[in-house]
Structure 1
């Protein structure tokens, strides 16, 4: 009696071809990303492409002569490939991270447990690579996103609040421009002080290089150098062993200090980014009034322009954070519109009371 595998159904074949196309497309994405990098990151991406190639061989073996010569991946993977070929930045890595998290292999009996495990690990590898890019972006990107979002919401709320009170278009325009300038300058000043203060706090914790000159004169038996490392968080035994190595000449004092990887960024660039992005966001709700519009039409257009911008900034944050762009976009829209609606109602109540 011989055991033979049952003949695959047309549905099985279609699914295997879909998986094969996805593996080929993902491997191409990683090779395209690797082409725009060098060193360790390039090696990691090429290794991921090789792993996708092994998965491709699995589906080729199952398909046999049913494997087509050429296949197209799904729309998402093809779009990712397009972005990888032309840009290859942290945005593409963040999208690739989300793509890896959607692997269907966990619940598919035709995929091996090793392949499912590979996909889980691939997600973590891409998360790590994307994390490097996020770290490089974090300082200026934080200022840009917060600046644009604050400009959009605060100036829309200001304009709607004044509009709700029943004042005319020229007064609303003046209020919007004043809000733009005041907010942008305030954001720039606040960001500069914040980043500069953070850099100064970190600088105060960096070891003084002149301390190394005192090492040769220390009492080997008392070894107060160990107190330095205990103050930096090491246990008593580890600190004493650390100090002993230094006194024997095997290490310098400053070389033992853990590197501080906080991406603080430049205070000046953060301030400039905050000013420009706040101003660009705050400008949108003013645009209808710049063109002489007034009343409900101006309010509706201002709200629409700001809504589109809030959706875009929310989706951008979602992509970079590896979360759902749609959810982040809708959350951003709900928060912005909620704040503006409350301000409008307060303005309307105030206007009714005054009148």
Structure 2
């Protein structure tokens, strides 16, 4: 294919037109991008098994079809492969080494920004493929988000709360004019109190959620009663009506379940799922995480965040210099946590990072102003 000349194009009058240099450059960029994206999916697939692996390999095949489209258009002008854009190269790097949900989330955004819909040289099928690829990757990323959500939520909230609350505390205390030792003691006290509070709060929160889920889990012993139910009275239908089905739907479904049990050699085992949402409840438990896991994660991540604004005071800085250094350190950490949330959610990392920074500095500015006011009034 690559040895053939570029296909002849025609203008509005039917005259043959060779592709322009601009078109050729654009087609080569597209080809490089398709090759790089296929490599990302191939690297991700190498770290997966089962269905997820097959889905990712299916995406590789689709990207290879797109590559062939541009190769056919370029013909002998395909030339040597050119580097893909920096973003795709970074994604490929992380896919090869980590294969994390963050890469899938970034690929979701990349597929959504495909230029093919506005490019006359791309086929409508290719534009449709890219849109559907975004949904496929969104589904794969959602699986990873569900597995991460419990511990990740505790980690992000813990780190962010530690950064913001202790920065606000030490900045406010510094503004009052008290000594460095008092500011340092306040920062350490805020770290310990906040970490303990976050850990206890996460334990209670997650434990309560799991207890509510457990209360909603069907009693496994109730399944043994299914073969003995009166088919005419159909008490099982009441279970389904209580779960939101209409009377007709509940009766029909209950009869189907009882019929399947009656004609099965396994008896109640065939209706093992009849009372239940077991898979959904298992997924919900996994997404929430464990109470102790959330508590420990929150404690240490809050402490890790809260120690950052205290560092300048620990190394002997004081006054405005300490405040400035603390602000720079905390600002960098807030940008990192905000960008992480943006990547995982499939949103703009920069927008989420700046939002996190604005919130943190806004809280610090308020406490600094209050500290100045309080220090002046006391003086």
| Bin of the TM-score, shorter chain as denominator length | over 0.9
Alignment of 1:258-269 (within 5 A): 258=277, 259-260=280-281, 261-262=283-284, 263-269=287-293
* Kept in 1: contact 2:340–2:349 (CA 8 A): yes
Equivalent residue, structure 1, for 2:213: 202
Equivalent residue, structure 1, for 2:153: 142
Equivalent residue, structure 1, for 2:45: 34
Equivalent residue, structure 2, for 1:176: 187
**Alpha-carbon distance between aligned partners in 2 of 1:80 and 1:213, rounded to the nearest angstrom:** 52
Q: What's the Cα RMSD here?
A: 1.3
* Kept in 1: contact 2:257–2:274 (CA 8 A): no
* Kept in 2: contact 1:246–1:253 (CA 8 A): no
**Alpha-carbon distance between aligned partners in 1 of 2:202 and 2:378, rounded to the nearest angstrom:** 38
| CA deviation profile, 1:210-247 (whole Å, cap 9, x unmatched) | 21233344332221211011111122112111211232
* Kept in 2: contact 1:284–1:305 (CA 8 A): yes
* Kept in 1: contact 2:311–2:326 (CA 8 A): yes
Aligned pair partner of 2:168 in 157, 161, 171: 157
1:254 CA drift (Å): 4.0
* Kept in 2: contact 1:156–1:302 (CA 8 A): yes
* Kept in 1: contact 2:46–2:53 (CA 8 A): yes
1:333 CA drift (Å): 0.2
* Kept in 2: contact 1:211–1:253 (CA 8 A): no
Closer/same/farther in 2, CA of residues 146 and 155 from structure 1, 3 Å limit:
same
**Alpha-carbon distance between aligned partners in 2 of 1:120 and 1:248, rounded to the nearest angstrom:** 43
How many corresponding residue pairs? Answer: 354
Equivalent residue, structure 2, for 1:9: 20
Equivalent residue, structure 1, for 2:325: 301
| CA deviation profile, 1:147-202 (whole Å, cap 9, x unmatched) | 00000000000111111111110000000000000000000000000000000000
Equivalent residue, structure 1, for 2:239: 228
**Alpha-carbon distance between aligned partners in 1 of 2:164 and 2:292, rounded to the nearest angstrom:** 24
Equivalent residue, structure 2, for 1:187: 198
**Alpha-carbon distance between aligned partners in 2 of 1:80 and 1:330, rounded to the nearest angstrom:** 22
TM-score scaled by structure 1? Answer: 0.97
**Alpha-carbon distance between aligned partners in 2 of 1:209 and 1:276, rounded to the nearest angstrom:** 38
* Unaligned ranges ≥5, structure 2: 1-12, 262-269
Equivalent residue, structure 2, for 1:312: 336
1:4 CA drift (Å): 5.1
SS at match of 1:69: coil
Aligned pair partner of 2:140 in 129, 136, 144: 129
**Alpha-carbon distance between aligned partners in 2 of 1:139 and 1:277, rounded to the nearest angstrom:** 14
Equivalent residue, structure 2, for 1:237: 248
* Unaligned ranges ≥5, structure 1: none
Aligned pair partner of 2:116 in 88, 100, 105: 105
